[in-house]
A and B are shown apart, each in its own frame.
Chain A
Amino acid sequence: MTAAASFRQVLGFFAFLGRKTGKTRVFAILGLMPVALAVIVRVVLHGRAGLMAAVFTDILMVFFLQFYIVILALFYGTSVTAEEVENRTLSYLLTRPLPKPAIVLGKYAAYTLLMFAMVSLSLALSYFIMNAARLTDPALYLTFLGYLGVLGLGILAYTAFFTFLGTLLKRAIIVGLVFGFGWENVIQYFPGSTQRFSVVHYLKSLLPYRPMSGGGKGVALLLFRLEPTAPLAAVLMLAVITAALLALACWIFRTKEYLTED
């Protein structure tokens, strides 16, 4: 079996298995939070389209970009290898004719697809509920696709980082939490080039800058001090981060021994 075929088989198996886990159910329910919020906002701000758009940008930045995709990537990314070691199921994979990189990349791909499906559903529901009055406007769909693309890139990059952490460390979740909700949240507001050491900087660089009316409120605070990277450079940087971290994860998984507690 070729490496590509091995990758496809691992992807298929874990995409199926991933759908059945309790973790997926919990995160899918979590994804309903912005949908519920969208319903409330729609009722409260009925007829005030501008304000609703601004609130949606807040939801996008605060919930999706800085929380949902980070927490999803943290739990799924670290689990690529860690769950096999902790659950002691790794021997079922290591004693099959599968190249080790195919195991890492196959699981990574399966989990990113799963996360992307959850994020897409949540984003689509909340976005279209809040913009229900403009459903005939083609620009609405283009904007949606843009948001979805940015979140997709975020999922790929964050999951690659947490996959790398999971292959390297035993307690990757703790380090991952510090990175995802510490480093990423703080470093993005540093002036100059320091903010380029965060993933979220490149994601935010891809989003349209839209300060809220009244300035200094809501999302404007989160975009404060953003010195955006050019969109193409941002996409390239995210691709390089993703590829480099996945290559490292594969190399570590190939060379490291994982001792289960027998």
Chain B
Amino acid sequence: MTAVIAASNLSKWYGNVLGLNDVSLEIEAGITGLLGPNGAGKSTFMKLITGQMKPAIGTVTVRGIKTWNNPGVFREIGFCPEQDVFYDELTGWQFLTGLLRFYGYAKSEIRDRADRALDIVDLSKDKDRLIRGYSRGMRQRIKFAQAIAHDPGILILDEPLSGLDPLGKRKLIRLVKEFKSQGRTVLVSSHVLPEIEALTSRIVLIHQGKILAQGDIPFIRELIEAHPHQISVRSSEPRTLAARFVGDPSIQKMTFGPDGRTLIVETHKRDDFFGRLTGVVLEAGIEVEEITSPDDNLQAVFEYLVGK
């Protein structure tokens, strides 16, 4: 397949700080997830792709065209920035139609496109409200709408799921998948593996400005499972729960939290543990209040990959 987005020996510095280090990458049609912790260089990479920054070394092209100072290429690209910022004095409708003017469409087409985009993101009813009055989820969706309203072939989404509630995430994931099903290209960044997992199996791991690995989800999962994973389960009967897991081969260590109600489990096999946990909870009739993963496992994988 031909690369839609291609980076070759791409590097970028912010003064003395290295933002991106010798990145060579080809992104094809479909959804590609760019996964890395905060400050890994995801946003820098996306800003270089979208021509907001100039490469210090190397090149980045979209369909073979360099993006820096080449505005024509943005008819093909839709960009959804990470920042929760807008022209707050505008309503959702004014924001969308205002930005659509910049493509040179006739007034009627601007209205049609804005209507369609608002309909896709379920904001038609709220289009005349000021954006500053929108909820976080609505703001994320109007940001997505401005990225798709001109019907681009390539969509660049910088942390689009950040700050959304589970329902909001589900909606946005559905929209991105629909976009992909039309044969288009989506590059989406996140620092949360399950978010990327929900969108695609094709991921690129980025850390400290370098591409550490590329592959599908099972490959990344294997890397993650090579590291102990901490899971915290808060319930009314943590000791009963612990007793049920004694002898379970998927578990390496169990401790109790300082509140006396939390069981902290360390495991190499996260999925196996979750599979058993559901059964144990149902069998024993234990009421589980909360399940969390207190450590950042992605960080552990990154540290392993860079040899720390």
Contact = CB atoms under 8 A, between A and B. Distances in A.
Interface string A79-102: 000000001111111111111100
A262 interface: yes
A183 interface: no
A10 to B, nearest CB: 7
Interface residues of B, number: 32
Interface stretch (B2-10, B49-57, B285-293): B49-57
Given A94-B52, A96-B103, A16 B85 contact: no
Interface in B225-246: none
B99 A96 contact: yes
A254 B54 CA distance: 11
Nearest to A3: B71
B77 A13 contact: no
B71 to A, nearest CB: 5
A95 B43 contact: no
Contacts of B14: 259
B45 interface: no
Nearest to A83: B87
Nearest to A18: B89
B54 A257 contact: yes
A230 B180 CA distance: 66
A181 to B, nearest CB: 29
A135 B146 CA distance: 52
B83 A17 contact: no
A89 B43 CA distance: 15
B275 to A, nearest CB: 39
A92 B99 contact: yes
B169 to A, nearest CB: 22
Interface residues of A, number: 30
Contacts, number: 78
Interface in A1-34: 1, 5-6, 9-10, 12-13, 16-17, 20-21
Nearest to B46: A91
Most chain A CB within 10 A, of B75, B79, B87, B90, is at B87
B69 A254 contact: yes
Contact of B74 (A5, A17, A95, A260): A95
Nearest to A262: B43
A16 B98 contact: yes
Interface in A71-127: 87-100
B63 interface: no
B221 to A, nearest CB: 29
Interface string A228-261: 0000000000000000000000000010010110
Contacts of A260: 83
B101 interface: yes
B82 interface: yes
23 contacts: A9-B104, A10-B102, A13-B98, A13-B101, A21-B89, A89-B86, A89-B87, A91-B47, A91-B50, A92-B81, A92-B87, A92-B146, A94-B52, A95-B74, A96-B71, A96-B74, A96-B99, A96-B102, A96-B103, A97-B72, A97-B75, A97-B103, A259-B14
Closest 9 CB pairs of A and B: A1-B104, A96-B102, A20-B89, A95-B79, A9-B101, A88-B85, A91-B81, A97-B74, A97-B71
Interface of A: 1, 5-6, 9-10, 12-13, 16-17, 20-21, 87-100, 254, 257, 259-260, 262
